[in-house]
Amino acid sequence: MDQAADDWVPHSAHWGAFSARWNGATLDVTPYAGDPAPSPLLQNFSNAMRHKARILRPMVRKAWLDRRARSERTFDQKFVACPWDEVLDLLAGELSRIKTEHGGAAVYGGSYGWSSAGRFHHAQSQVHRFLNMAFGGYVRSVNSYSAGASAVILPHIMGGYEAISRHNVTWDQVAEHSDTVLAFGGMAVKNSDVASGGVSRHIERAAMQRAARRGAIFYNVAPLRDDMPEEAGGRWVPIKVGTDVALMLALAHTLLVENLWDSGFVARYCTGFEIFERYLLGRDDSIPKDAAWAANVVGLPATAIVDLARRLPRGRTLITVSHSLQRAQYGEQPVWMGAVLAAMLGQIGLPGGGYHYALGALGHTGRRPNAVPIPTLPQGKNGVADFIPVGRVADMLLHPGERFDYNGRAMRYPDIKLVYWAGGNPFHHHQDINRLRRAFNVPQTIVVHESAWTPMAKFADIVLPATMTLERDDIGAAATDPRLVAMRKAVDPIGEARDDFDIFADLSRRLGVEQAFTEGRSSRQWLTHLYEPTRRALLDAGWDAPDFEAFWRRGELELPSAPDDGGFLSAFRNDPVGKKLPTPSGKIEIYSKAIAGFGYDDCPPHPAWLPSTEPPDVRHPLTLIANQPATRLHSQLDFGAYSQSKKIAGREPVRLHPADASRRGIKNGDIVRLFNDRGACLAAATLSHDVMQGVVQLSTGAWYDPEVGAADRPLCVHGNPNVLTRDIGTSRLAQGCCGQVTVVECEKYQGTLPPIRAFDPPEQA
């Protein structure tokens, strides 16, 4: 019987702190009272707890259970329900076999970490801890789909990704000091609605509004007008998709030839400008990267480019680059060129000025870090050296032993026999899903912990039902949010669902490593244990430091913030000798000798304009933007009430300009087919002048739903754009994902619409 909750209980999610109450059928949700702009995504919880998509019992793929010779996995395969003891015995035996025959280097621990805001029941931490204890290690992934290119290029040119994105210019500084904010890729607040670990106060809209009222000008350099909120009063600079580097170069050229740049700053704080200057002026290729050259590339008048360049040195100017720019081929270049443009303006390290990567891309950014540590589950030591960039999982599975380049290293893909996945849906975040489907047919066994029948769960061999956050106790915290939240259980687990920790504890006992995994602690004892370092740091600093039981009764605890000091870039500006940057030269590297030594033809040693190798053409004249949705986090809770309320006839909406729609006979609400040589999907047309002509925008996250009976490239009837996107690395340097943009054609769908089965449980044998 479900727990009857008379009182509201505190809780936290990636998109906000809130209180919840189970009313017997659905969940009542109230945002945290101190949040000035709570996210509507919280309403996805209301119907999620007892949705038909929830997994009720442990399940095993029938063909795998029958041990049929390499039976191909499909999305309509049959499953057999098994008792917990039976399935855990079966899984323990399979894990022992893999370990004996192949070792930890044959296991890929796949988890993307977004399944829980809680610090203990964090699926990624739990599965990695288990694999380290049970196998002595596993093949891991590095970087992320969101920042695969930037996380690699930033340390070469300026410093660590985390330090630049999370301890740099703050929203308070923007509100008080910034006169011009040039935002490449915009600042969409749907992105800053979310933060790993949670966010208790959404401050972005108010900060931009304060700055705008003071007279600051925000420039939204993006193909989508609404990639900046109305509160900013932004000026839309619509440029062709993927041409940001060309515009940055032209702005830099104007600053240089009109002597509007800060040559003193560049000389003191940077290295390699003289080599980049030759490229900028076209001394070697006879192509000056001036406004006239850029006009044809980006689709803006040359005069507009020059006027924009002349504004930048006036007052305090901040250059920002969003995640979207580097989620494309050669994605390292806009990140690098944005930093160079900011360096030429000479304001790096000043309050509200200089350079910020990913400001507004997540709720973590633009905030002061906490002055005390937050609870974190230790994952143990990984004894396996092999790893891959996270976006190269299909390459790894399809090409074991094949050589690949990464950040100056020549590496080889490991030979994976078992994939263990907890807390993620790669059939959402990976590109070219038809290729990914072939890749996931290579491993001998796929194990998934999941709360609902995601596409990854339907494609697995062993599926273990996991609880959702509201069905367990945990601690919610983020390193840049000043509030610790007691995430109290609001409702009993559905069916036979269990916490990941309890599943791994039982498996560990069967494998003889229970003590190493649990350390003799129950879940409640772990919460107390993980809370203690935070309490001790608060106590040492003279702050309120209640014991765990007092914190749990209180429901929340305020955490102190570190000073708003601008981080390491401000320290470097004030003392470039004593506070050198963590780069080979100790300075901002406009030209990188290290990257030059790698010899990569797709990543030059200074920022450069490299046009996409897949531009629009006659067959595929439209550019598709596959961005973060506004109705959910990635694909999480796509079956939730808020996500479903924004679909049209049950399908994901795709936006296109009225002129593009008219040429194709498409009207508002029509179901359309988007296609290219990789695949096709259906979506519901929404006409909008906020989208540039020649561009269509279809957000990611609609659960992949292949048409029944189709062959190698089935139609996704629900609207997942990753059936269309390219599965290639950004370059040999970073090997990041290129999932943001691709080229397509769009047509009105003719014929009987196929049913949507995305949220239906699979057939039981």
CA atoms within a 13 Å half-sphere pointing along the CA-CB vector of 517: 28
| Structure-token pair, residue 411 | 């590496």
User: Which of 15, 32, 64, 112 is the catalytic position?
Assistant: 112
Sheet holding 107-110, edge to edge: 79-81, 59-61, 462-465, 445-450, 418-422, 107-110
Entry field: residues in the chain: 765
CB 311 within 8 A of CB 180: yes
What amino acid is encoded at 297 in this protein?
V
Q: How far is CA 14 from the centre of its chain?
A: 12
Burial of 467 (0-12, 13-18, 19+ CB in 10 A): buried
Closest CA to 116 of 464, 448, 487: 487
The CA distance from 183 to 178, in Å, is 12
The two beta strands, 445-450 and 418-422, are: parallel
Query: In 23-122, where does DSSP find H-type helix?
Result: 62-65, 84-101
Q: Is residue 552 flagged as an active site residue?
A: no
The CA distance from 362 to 173, in Å, is 17
User: Cβ neighbours of residue 101 under 8 Å, at least 6 residues apart?
Assistant: 417
SS3 of 605, please?
coil
SS3 of 548, please?
helix
DSSP state of 293: H
What number of H helices and E strands is found in the chain? 27, 29
CB 26 within 8 A of CB 46: yes
Looking at the DSSP bridge assignments, the partners of residue 219 are 182, 235
CA atoms within a 13 Å half-sphere pointing along the CA-CB vector of 750: 3
DSSP state of 289: -
Closest CA to 489 of 55, 1, 2: 2
The CA distance from 135 to 551, in Å, is 36
Burial of 237 (0-12, 13-18, 19+ CB in 10 A): buried
CB 380 within 8 A of CB 135: no
Burial of 549 (0-12, 13-18, 19+ CB in 10 A): exposed
Helix (H) or strand (E) holding 247: helix 244-257
CB 626 within 8 A of CB 699: yes
CA dihedral 217, 146, 592, 608 (to 10 degrees): -60
CA distances from 589 to 126, 272, 302, 394 (A): 38, 6, 29, 33
CA dihedral 558, 29, 359, 610 (to 10 degrees): 150
Closest CA to 40 of 629, 652, 684: 629
User: Cβ neighbours of residue 152 under 8 Å, at least 6 residues apart?
Assistant: 143, 332, 407, 733, 734, 736
The CA distance from 597 to 333, in Å, is 17
CB 436 within 8 A of CB 452: no
User: Which of 15, 114, 171, 261 is the catalytic position?
Assistant: 114
Helix (H) or strand (E) holding 20: strand 16-22
Burial of 579 (0-12, 13-18, 19+ CB in 10 A): middle
Q: Is residue 114 flagged as an active site residue?
A: yes
How many CB atoms within 10 Å of residue 400?
15
The residues carrying an active-site annotation are: 112, 114
